[in-house]
Structure 1
Amino acid sequence: MIKEIREWAVAIIIAIVVIVVIRMFLFVSFSVDGLSMDPTLEDGDRVVVNKFIYDISDVERDDVIVFNSNEESAYVKRVIGVPGDTVEMVDRTVYVNGEPLQEDYVVHQGESYMDNFTLSELGVEGDVIPEGQYLVLGDNRPVSRDSRDFGLITEDSIIGEVQLRFWPLNEIAIDF
């Protein structure tokens, strides 16, 4: 009996250590709060964030990421501009390096608080995104608090890339 209890205790301790290691270094779950990523991610969706992906690869345009904000909670947004890019929005069309982005995921319902911008209007010195900084926008532009509001984000603030929506169960999805 004591041997069986000891085996169960060891198995439980190992499971707890594995879970802690996974959550600290590899993956974390995140709950989407708000409408800024509609229709891609909806309020209340639960996602898995890959925390180590940017240790082995670069942040790329169109990645959906979670990052720490200067506010009380983390945000989920889409990367639109990476270091070296020029970005501007004219008449609700985003131009990266002079080319319009094809953004089928974007919601335009009425006018948002800042439909047109240039990098200089976002506080960037010069006309390109500096190293280690990124421009992020929500897919639901009329209601999204994003780089139009708080400027570029730093690489240090990025928690990871959203790679799986697991809740609600009828909308499980991989890669956005």
Structure 2
Amino acid sequence: MTERKREWIDWVKALLIAFGIAFIVRTFFFAPIVVDGPSMMPTLHDGDQMIVNKFIYDIQEPERFDIVVFHASDKKDFIKRVIGLPGEHVAVKDDNLYIDGDKRKEPFLQERKEDMHSYQTLTGDFQLEDLPGGYETIPDGYVLVLGDNRNNSTDSRMLGLVSMDRVVGQTSFIYWPLDRMRIIHD
């Protein structure tokens, strides 16, 4: 075998290994996603490109206020924020979140609430029993999700609780556009 042919075969092997590693990483560990719509404004903007950590929930449970990607249908994935966890009762009254009767702060909504007029509400009143399924507490293996743009979001208030089997993973890193590149914290 000539030196040139051996070099060509080495390049082909290297490319196949690189594509194989990329396929494994994308399939099992990380994937890109593009935000589609205004439901997570102002935290996420339409067109933001993010990385989804697909394995995080294999090693830990979701936490309140994680931003997750889930299969809303066979053809559509949604990005929303985890508000309620298994075993909890969730209610919103007068734009305040209550978990098991205790008022909780939602710091990511503060700026939006400050911009609103006194007669406006960001989140209409509801309690867990009002949502599809009529649960009194969130069952094991499910989470309640809401968009940050509460008055313009299709979320658990319409879709019901989200099964962890439908959750693709957690996302917290915007990589495009460059001027919005950042890691999102609560």
Pairwise same-fold verdict (TM > 0.5): yes
Residue 132 of structure 2 contacts residue 157 of structure 2 at CA under 8 Å; is this kept in 1? no
Matching residue within 134, 145, 159 for 1:136: 145
Give the whole-Å Cα distance in 2 for the aligned partners of 1:151 and 1:15. 41
Matching residue within 46, 49, 74 for 2:49: 46
Q: Render the CA deviation track for 1:106-159: whole Å, top value 9, x for unaligned.
A: 2355456x6011111103444211111110000011101101111111010000
Could you say what the CA RMSD is over the residues aligned between the two structures, in angstroms? 1.6
User: What letter is aligned with 2:125?
Assistant: N
Give the whole-Å Cα distance in 2 for the aligned partners of 1:147 and 1:124. 10
Partner residue, 2:172: 163
Give the whole-Å Cα distance in 2 for the aligned partners of 1:127 and 1:42. 33
Shift, 1:39, TM fit:
1.1
Partner residue, 1:37: 40
Give the whole-Å Cα distance in 1 for the aligned partners of 2:37 and 2:44. 9
Q: Which has the larger radius of gyration?
A: 2
Of Structure 1 and Structure 2, the greater helix share is in 2
Secondary structure of 1:105's aligned partner: helix
Identity of aligned residues (%): 39
**TM-score, scaled relative to structure 1:** 0.93
Matching residue within 78, 81, 98 for 2:81: 78
Q: Render the CA deviation track for 1:49-85: whole Å, top value 9, x for unaligned.
A: 0000000000111110000013631000000000011
What residue ranges of structure 1 are gaps of 5+ in the alignment?
A: none
For the pair 1:19 / 2:22, whether they are aligned, the reply is: yes
Secondary structure of 1:11's aligned partner: helix
Give the whole-Å Cα distance in 1 for the aligned partners of 2:99 and 2:133. 15
